[in-house]
Amino acid sequence: MIEVCALASGSNGNCYYIGNESEAILVDVGISRRQIVDRMRQVGLSINKVKAIFISHEHSDHSRGVRVLHQKLCIPVYMTSITYNNSRDENRPEKYVHLKVGEWLVIGDIKVKAFSKSHDAVDPCSFIVKIGEKTVGVMTDIGKLCNNVVYYFNLCHAVFLETNYDHQMLMDGPYPLYLKHRVASDRGHLSNNQAVELVEKHGSDVLKYIFLSHISQENNHPDIALKAFDKLKGKYLIELTNRYAPTQVFQL
């Protein structure tokens, strides 16, 4: 059995839980230790099961809480050396384990592989997590559908998939022009339509769950993101994540 839960997903903080009956990992810690523990408790999860933390890149909405969480609970933190060295001092854990992109790491019965992607960070990566015969992807903060994203997405039984913005909302919205271009660039984020394209063209026969993730508060809306996936709802289970509350715990 695999349990997955988005504890937070959005520009104010991201944290994803993936585990089995006895152990788990967190991908990104963009909210506080207190929020993580409280949100896990709300859905019946225990922080004591968490054996490792993986950080995708240095931006604060993915790393804000990792220093304190590591200090308080001594959970090992895995990140690339470049990401560590470019993290803000207040977000940098006292110790970390060097993460080698493209190599499997084994945490008990959990296997984790980081892969490179395109995003406006110094050394960004996303992750696939394998437990038994099933694979879960955490794929947010992605600027384009590069070969790595396509390849690893095709392996997934479930995926936290970025649906950051609706193109028209972004263009009509409050962001200054340079920021609109940055979000929509090859080093920015995936739009609803890009996410749908990825699923339509590269979703495998084993893919079942798609969790719409990192939804922008200014440039998207949960209902709009869901509507973009209307034509795929008969084939996949499409679920929303939330920036302020955990999802339910889904069992695969």
DSSP-assigned letter for residue 174: S
With residue 34 as reference, give the H or E element that holds it: helix 33-42
How far is C-alpha 191 from the geometric centre of its chain's CA atoms? 15
Topology adopted by domain 3-251: Metallo-beta-lactamase; Chain A (3.60.15)
First to last CA, the chain: 6
53: nearest Cα among 21, 82, 19, 87: 19
Task: State how beta strands 110-116 and 104-107 pair.
Answer: antiparallel
Tokens 């993101």, residue located = 225
Residue-averaged pLDDT of the chain: 98
User: Is there a contact between 193 and 162 (Cβ–Cβ < 8 Å)?
Assistant: no
Extents of the domains making up the chain: 3-251
For 199-234, what is each residue's pLDDT tens digit?
999 999 999 999 999 999 999 999 999 999 999 999
- Cα angle for residues 55, 129, 150 (degrees, 5° grid): 90
Round to whole Å and give the CA distance between 247 and 211. Answer: 10
Give the model's pLDDT for residue 239. Answer: 98
C-alpha to C-alpha distances, 200 to 203, 206, 207, 232, nearest whole angstrom:
6, 14, 11, 8
How many C-beta neighbours within 10 Å does residue 24 have?
Answer: 27
Return the exposure string of 162-180: e unless at least 16 CB atoms fall within 10 Å of the residue's CB, then b: bbbbbbebbeebebeeeeb
- Give alpha helix (H) positions in 173-247: 177-184, 192-202, 222-228
Round to whole Å and give the CA distance between 30 and 45. Answer: 18
Residue 129, beta-bridge partner list: 112, 136
For 22-67, what is each residue's pLDDT tens digit?
999 999 999 999 999 999 999 999 999 999 999 999 999 999 999 9
**Strands laid side by side in the 50-54 sheet:** 97-98, 77-79, 50-54, 24-27, 15-19, 3-8, 250-251
For 129-164, what is each residue's pLDDT tens digit?
999 999 999 999 999 999 999 999 999 999 999 999
User: Is there a contact between 194 and 167 (Cβ–Cβ < 8 Å)?
Assistant: no
Round to whole Å and give the CA distance between 94 and 243. Answer: 27
For 166-208, what is each residue's pLDDT tens digit?
999 999 999 999 999 999 999 999 999 999 999 999 999 999 9
